[in-house]
Structure 1
């Protein structure tokens, strides 16, 4: 097999400092056989990758004549790789023989599965934490607050908790919780008002749930991401099961319900709405729907653990970024949530082999979200802090973190994976800069490879370069497996789940391509350019919709790989 080179155009690492071209700039000249020189030449090597930086090639990518005796297919992925949150721009990709095209019609709105109540509340809390940290956040780790209990917790001990009273968490009523189970790392409290009204788990269920927290999820999260803070000096994480979580969403909960949450305000000394303690809040059983929509005991036991391991990553991240290193913003939304969705996958794998049902409850959301993203990747941001997307964005965030862990671990073991995720959490860096520092590889390179991997990682009949592979998933087969194994195991009206791989590129003959779309930060549009047998040289011009140079601050790229 011939060597598979990565051919990279001349770097434009300073592009982010440049402003967009003025609207009066003339269109780019037509592409020719020599446009862009070596930087614009596309490799014909099978599985060879070429990264075209159009700011260095007058927008041109040049494909040599096909003398191979068979059709050649190239996968093309236009992409913006600057790592700037929420950045996007329209583009036009057209064959050089075409005249300058007028501005195309607006791109179709592919939409997105809307966020559920749990995800909307999660975004609300992450934004609130950033605002609080900006105003109250310490620049160094505060000393531990005096512990409320001088002695270790014991069954029946009571203490007050301030909780979120609304979905905006702008009121903080007080409830009283009492200890139901004491573990080595986690102590479970029950809201006394819910206990009095029968909204509680059995003693056996408390023991079982606490054991899952204490012996599986806590060790997994802390091994993967580092330790949580201990600002109250008691050495434990408190879990409060309270109906105030249930009542955050009114019946009939058409947008879903909330299983639990962590709030960084609890860790900021001086915030009157917090508890100055490490607390995870969880819903209680409410089979009669007295507080909101109904929650069975089995439903609580199924959904709360996955929420705990997700939210606990946020707690750990808040400690390392805000408390330990003085960040006034914390980790960027997209990477913070990507790591928490990775934590859900990590939790699910703890139950394999042997408990496929629990695995399904942990992993189903990640696979569903990723399928939504892959069905229309060009419509959704990867590098996103606005939080205006949907479940599709979360699918992109998880896929990216999964790819980074797979690519930069020394092997496929959990311990090796943990080295990468700890590097991403135990740091003061955030966002694209964090990825570059943790991996020792420019963010642009990582995200270019990720975009290609989403299509070619397990492409049938293709010899995929190792740098373009997911290691823990073979998605074309695994979507089918998860569909067949998990849909029947999730009785509470699971969303439609694809039974085949959803990423299907458009395309056509390369010299006749005329593709318009939008590059949304980090994501890509997928196109297959066909080069018929004995067809001559052709070129593609990669420009803005009016045929002018793309804004250099985007760090625009045309990623190309020969797949046939």
Structure 2
């Protein structure tokens, strides 16, 4: 089950339904000398609730024989009824009453000094004749006919009352700022012994005449002309210069919500709430659940600024935190509405401890994480930047957390404990960090930008008649010579190279540049490439994505092995281009509507061996070039299929964006691993021993090294700095491409496990290629949801998969056990950062789905606060957060 970390807005949670006491955040205890001054008890009664005859009154409350209160604690507060209202919304009845407030005791006698932050704190009392119900602040519950409620409904209803704020008449949950008087306090502030008489003499609960003080109430405001809070101080009315009889300087709104009942006759018609009137030396403002929105954030911030509040209280699910207010912000994880501090019987919002492996979704940028029942709990916090337009600098702050001990280990997830592969025969070499097929991003970007405008023009397509530079129409024969342009791009002078047909198969023709350096591929080697392409590559790649076009009518795709590819690497260059394709070759040669440099056919341009370094002094051995020939063909084949089908089959008006186009080509490489690994398939959770043991070990190791290992090499830098790369990138990098490949593999697996297919018509991969849309729009059309929602789940899977906590399937990688495989490639490199209590961790998350992995522990029986906010001025709205429990 997945939990959403938010303040459940509708009901108080009956703690009696749980065997465990809700944990609490450990907060500093204020000294009694700075404590809250008590002025006496008041009872507020609302009647006619739910009707047009609703009214309210406030009277002194007399606790009776229970009270041992001092005389100066019985004054209360002079309240004069002003207005009321109710509204039924989202299964709840909201009811409120506003009173004018005079700085005087209930009998009208002015207090001898100004009063600051006068607050009506909810209390539970025990006098038999006037007791509140079930350790709540509620009493006098009555039906419409005046009859009193009886148990069990009486207790259930009383414990379901939740304090809130006045709403407007729009029908939505919009708080009226003139009635935003809710005040939530930490338990430490309302503990027995934290109160004093007006003369600062400490008083106990017994002195106050209460069983307990609940940590919520409503604060008196001195309003501005529009009714909003201008201040919190009621003036001294004892001076001769001021009229005092009708000097009501304050307003307070008492507001609660209670679930609507079935039948409707069970909805409370009358109820009373009992309060202790106090003067609080601390100026606080509170954000209710109903204010957890953009307008509410602005209103709370304005209240805090106007009043000079030193504490801003909110609830889990808020997006209020900013770099400027976080030091004053206190997240109340739960608020007790019944029972004692040590044994609450009702709280709001709900705070359930997640199970091991359970993933929580934050609804805002504040959350509370409970400790374990028999030991510390540990969590990994996973933020993700779901903006495609900008990076986000975000601070993550944990309070009341402790360091983690694992498993998995805090800073680096441990290597697989099973078979470890060496680097000799049968082993897996370290994943390459500069794979051969990562050289065509500039071409994809240029194609997307410069050729897309031509794509919409039907005149750009190849029609009858073949340009002299193109491949000859019809079947080629061994020994035929052709002239091909190798100058890049669409327009400009051509650079013709002559080639000879060296090998012909059912689907692939290999043409070799007649000016290639000596010591190149033999005919036998070229024939083996053709055989492998026909046997494995063609059925695998076309089966997944569809067949390419055949605009040159030769029934084949053509690989041109040419020194022109070698010439792309400058002398002494550390980079190698092993091959590429040119989308321009799919256009006709009209200089206006098409591409004058087009060869008008489906071509690959491939590196030739150069054992002596004849081209730019760069030695290219036969073995090295041979090892990358087939994966490069598979990679480029997807590009050719994608572009040609968009142009001639799918009637698209744009070529695919680079991140998705390149990611699909990396998937093509992976598909070739499955095709050549003798029995291994997707969604087998492949571990090291599946590859390097058994009768097919040598073939599987070779297949991994050839087709899978390059993707692991791309994935590694992403894992090392996941905040720097996202799968939906706009700036090319090795880590970004690794993220895209890995996400597409995750998405394909998830799609199949949900009942779909991976390739072929109707399959995940096929739909992505055979589309008229691009990028995220294309992906969303296939999976049916915002791709960032899957990216958030994928980011969790990168950490949670195969660590023994059994998360839901959407948080796993079904095809690969990356911990096992990377264990044979130097260790699983995912960077997990520790969160230190009270110290924000600041990171900049790059756009397009970058993420991070932040570890924290929580002591058993306690609760930690988690806050996220922009490190600098800006918004963190596009940062979504999930949390997985790992211990």
Alignment match, 2:809: 466
1:95–1:284 CA distance, 2 compared to 1 (3 A) = closer
3-state secondary structure, aligned to 1:378:
coil
Give the superposition deviation at 1:34. Answer: 5.6
**Structure exhibiting the larger radius of gyration computed from Cα positions:** 2
**Any conservation in 1 of the 2:586–2:598 contact (CA below 8 Å)?**
yes
Equivalent position of 1:527 in the other structure: 854
Return the match for 1:515 from 837, 841, 844: 841
Q: How does 1:486-505 map to 2 (within 5 A)?
A: 499-505=826-832
Range with bigger deviation, 466-475 or 142-151? 142-151
State the number of aligned residues: 502
Q: 2:523 & 2:438 partners in 1: Cα distance? A: 32
Matched, 1:563 2:886: yes
Matches for 1:411-450 after TM superposition, within 5 Å? 416=758, 419-450=763-794
Are 2:398 and 2:867, in contact at CA under 8 Å, matched by a contact in 1? yes
Q: 1:504-533, CA deviations, whole angstroms, 9 ceiling, x for partnerless residues? A: 412246x53521111222121111121112
Q: CA deviation at 1:135?
A: 3.5
Q: CA deviation at 1:410?
A: 4.0
Aligned to 1:487: none
**Distance in 1 separating the partners of 2:795 and 2:885:** 15
**Contact 1:287-1:297 within 8 A present in 2 as well:** yes
Say which of 517, 520, 525 aligns to 1:200.
520
Name the structure 2 match of 1:455. Answer: 799
Q: How far 1:399 moved relative to its partner? A: 1.0
TM-score normalised by L of structure 2: 0.52
Hey, what does 2:606 align to over in structure 1? 282
SS at match of 1:512: coil
2:597 aligned with 1:273: yes
In structure 2, runs of 5+ residues without a counterpart are 8-293, 303-321, 336-346, 402-430, 589-593, 679-695
- 2:87 equivalent in structure 1: none
For the residues of structure 1 that align with 2:569 and 2:850, how far apart are their CA atoms?
A: 32
1:126 aligns with 2:448: no
Q: Is the 8 Å Cα contact of residues 145 and 232 (structure 1) preserved in structure 2?
A: no
* Per-residue CA distance 1:356-393 (angstroms, 9 max, x = gap): 22431222211122112101111223221232x3x211
Conserved 8 A contact 2:544-2:758: no
What is the rounded CA distance, in whole Å, between the counterparts of 1:114 and 1:217 in structure 2? Answer: 22
Are positions 1:375 and 2:720 aligned together?
yes
Preserved contact between residue 372 and residue 858 of structure 2 (Cα < 8 Å): no
2:850 is paired with a residue whose SS is coil
1:109 paired residue number: none
Q: Quote how far apart the aligned CAs of 1:38 are.
A: 8.9
Within the candidate set 299, 319, 322, 2:644 is matched to: 319
Give the superposed CA RMSD. 3.4
TM, length-normalised to structure 1: 0.80
The equivalences for 1:149-548 within 5 A come to 149-164=472-487, 172-194=494-516, 198-254=518-574, 256-269=575-588, 270-292=594-616, 293-353=618-678, 354=696, 355=699, 356-387=701-732, 389=733, 391-410=734-753, 416=758, 419-459=763-803, 461-481=804-824, 483=825, 499-508=826-835, 511-512=837-838, 514-520=840-846, 521-535=848-862, 537-546=863-872
Cα distance in structure 2, aligned partners of 1:337 and 1:185: 23
CA distance change for structure 1 residues 532 and 213 in 2, over 3 Å: closer, same or farther? same
CA distance in 2, matches of 1:152, 1:342: 31
**Residues 384-439 of structure 1, C-alpha deviation per residue, up to 9 Å, x if partnerless?**
1232x3x21121111111111111114999x7455221122111232222222212
State the distance in 2 between where 1:406 and 1:379 align.
25
Tell me how far apart the structure 2 counterparts of residues 444 and 478 of structure 1 sit (CA, whole Å).
27
Cα distance, 1:562–1:214 mapped onto 2, change above 3 Å: same
Higher RCO (CA < 8 A, seq sep 6+): 1
Q: Tell me, yes or no, if the aligned pair for 1:190 and 1:200 is still in contact at 8 Å.
A: no
Q: Give the whole-Å Cα distance in 1 for the aligned partners of 2:528 and 2:754.
A: 33
Match of 1:73 among 361, 378, 394: 378
Written as runs of structure 1 = structure 2, the 5 A alignment for 1:59-70 is 59-64=365-370, 66=371, 68-70=373-375
Question: Which has the larger displacement, 41-50 or 87-96?
Answer: 41-50
The structure with the largest helix share of the pair is 1
Distance 1:39 1:250, change over 3 A: farther
Q: Which residue number corresponds to residue 289 of structure 2?
A: none
